[in-house]
Amino acid sequence: MDGDEAAWQLAEFGGWLQSRSAETRRAYRADVDAFADWAARAGCPVPSCVNRLVLRRYLAYLSTRRYARATIARKAAALRAYFGWCRRRGIVTEDPAQRLGSPGTGGRLPSVLSHGELDALLDGGPAPRSTALAAAFVLRDDAVLELLYAAGLRVSELCGLDRTGLNLGGRTITVMGKGAKERRLPVYERCAEMLGRWLDEGRPVVARPGSPPEAVFLNRVGNRLGPRDVRRIVDRRSPVPTHPHALRHTMATHLLDGGADLRVVQEMLGHASLRTTQIYTHVSRERLIEVYSGTHPRA
C-alpha cells in the first residue's frame, strides 16, 4: 500500500475481526486496505489525519466509480468498524466514522416473493427421478428451500448447520449466526419432515467417505453445501428470478403481516439492532397500501 502500513495496523485489525464470519473478515480487510491506499494518494498517509470530510469524499468517489449501493454500504460499515477500533486503541483521538452513512442506500426495500411465487418454489419440485442419486438431490433441495423459508436463515447459517443443531422431534434448530452468536429457532412440521427425509433417505446416498459427518447438507461431490450451491438450487426451482436471501425477507414480512411482534422477528433473524428489522415494517406497509388500493370501494 502507498501509506505507512505500520500506522494503519491492518494486521492487528484483522486479528480483532476474528469473531466475524470469514467472508466479513476478508471483505472488511480489503475495504479498509483499499481506503488506506486511496487516502494516501489523497494526502492522508495515516489514520490520524482522516476526518469525516475525507470519509465522505471517499464514499462520493466510490459512487462516481459506479459501485453498487450495497457495496458502498458495506465499505462504510467496514470503515465504521475500523475507526471505532482505532479510537479504542488510541490510534485516533476522535472517531471520524461515527454515524457515517453511505450515499444513495436508502429507498430500496427487500425483495419479497408473492404467495404464488413462494408456493411454486416450495411445492413445485421436479417429478421423482429415475436414479437414487437424483432422487436424493430432490430431497436435499426440498429441505434446503423449506428451511430457508421456515427459519429465515442466512445462507451462511444454512451451509454451516450441523446435525447436532437439529431437534426434529421438538421441531427446533440451533444455528451459529453473525458474531458467533447462537440462536435456537422453531420450524414447522412440514420442514421438520423434509429434513428428516433428507437425512434418512437422501444424505446416505450423497455422502462419500471423505464427507464431513457433522454437516447437514452436502453438495454433489460430498462436501459441505456452499453458498453457490444454494444459489443454484434456488435458480433451478424458482419460477421468477430471485436469490436465496429473498426467502429470509419473505419469511420476516409474512410474520409481520400475520401480526408477529417486531422483537420476535428480530430475535428470529438474529439482528443485533431492532433498526435493522424495522425495514420489514416498511415492506408490510407497502403491501398494506397495495391491498387497500385494490380492495377499498373508494380507493
Just list the catalytic residues: 154, 178, 245, 248, 271, 280
Q: Tell me the C-alpha distance between 212 and 223, whole Å.
A: 7
Crossing angle for the helix pair 245-257 and 262-269, to the nearest 10 degrees = 160
The answer to whether the CB of 37 falls within 8 A of the CB of 1 is yes
Place of cell 419460477: 239
Give the number of other Cβ atoms within 10 Å of residue 251's Cβ: 23
E strand map for the chain: 166-167, 172-176, 182-186
CA–CA separation, 82 and 278 (whole Å): 26
CA dihedral 176, 179, 180, 184 (to 10 degrees): -40
Handedness of CA 149, 152, 156, 159 (dihedral sign): negative
